[in-house]
C-alpha cells in the first residue's frame, strides 16, 4: 500500500506534483481544499485526516474521513487518530494538556498503523502504537 502523508502545509494550492498513492493521510494543519487537491493529484482511493491545532473547528468535507478518536479499516490495516497538539499557548483549537490524551485514549482501539509524534522542543522522536498525531 502506498500512503501519501501530509502535514503542516501553508500553501493554498497543491504544488508538490502528482503520482499514485492508495491512501492520503493528512496529519493536521492542511486546508481541506489542499487535502482534496493532493488526493486528486495522487489518485488516492481513500482520505483519512485529523485536525491540527491551526485548523478550523469545522467538519471535514466528504470524502475526507475524520479519524479523531476513531478507527477505520483500509487495505487490511486499522488507522486511528487524535487531533491537535499539546497545549503550548493559552488559546487555540485542539490544544490538550499533557494528561488529556491519556484519558481520551483509554478506550481507543490500538491501530496497526504507527505514526511518529514530535514536539517542537523534543530532541528525539518517539513511536506509538496509536496513530496519534501532533503538529510540528
Q: Identify which has the larger pLDDT, 74 or 114.
A: 74
Report how many domains make up the chain: 1
Beta bridge partners of 83: none
User: Tens of pLDDT along 59-97?
Assistant: 999 999 999 988 899 998 888 888 888 888 888 888 888
Does residue 46 lie in a domain region?
yes
Q: From CA 126, how far away is CA 117, in angstroms rounded?
A: 6
Q: Is 121 exposed, middle or buried (0-12, 13-18, 19+ CB in 10 A)?
A: exposed
Whether 123 has a pLDDT exceeding 60, the answer reads: no
Domain contains 119: yes
Contacts of 129 (CB under 8 A, 6+ apart): 110, 111, 114
> Tell me: the pLDDT tens digits for 24-37?
999 999 999 999 99
Domain of 85? 3-127
Q: Is residue 29 part of a domain?
A: yes
> Would 28 be classed as within a structural domain?
yes
- First-to-last alpha carbon distance for the chain, in angstroms, is 25
Q: Is residue 8 part of a domain?
A: yes
Residue 132 is predicted with a pLDDT of: 36
In a domain, 134, yes or no: no
Give the per-residue pLDDT at 64. Answer: 98
Do the domain assignments include residue 136?
A: no
Within-domain flag for 59: yes
Amino acid at each position: 500500500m502506498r500512503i501519501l502523508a501530509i502535514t503542516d502545509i501553508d500553501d493554498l494550492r497543491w504544488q508538490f506534483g502528482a503520482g499514485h498513492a492508495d491512501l492520503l493521510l493528512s496529519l493536521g494543519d492542511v486546508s481541506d481544499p489542499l487535502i482534496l487537491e493532493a488526493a486528486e493529484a495522487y489518485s488516492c482511493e481513500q482520505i483519512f485526516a485529523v485536525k491540527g491545532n491551526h485548523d478550523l473547528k469545522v467538519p471535514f468535507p466528504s470524502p475526507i474521513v475524520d479519524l479523531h478518536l476513531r478507527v477505520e479499516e483500509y487495505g487490511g490495516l486499522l488507522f486511528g487518530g487524535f487531533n491537535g497538539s499539546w497545549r503550548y499557548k493559552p488559546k487555540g483549537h485542539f490544544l490538550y494538556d499533557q494528561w488529556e490524551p491519556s484519558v481520551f485514549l483509554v478506550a481507543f482501539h490500538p491501530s496497526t498503523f504507527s505514526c511518529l509524534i514530535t514536539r517542537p522542543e523534543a530532541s528525539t522522536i518517539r513511536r506509538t502504537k496509536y496513530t496519534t498525531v501532533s503538529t510540528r
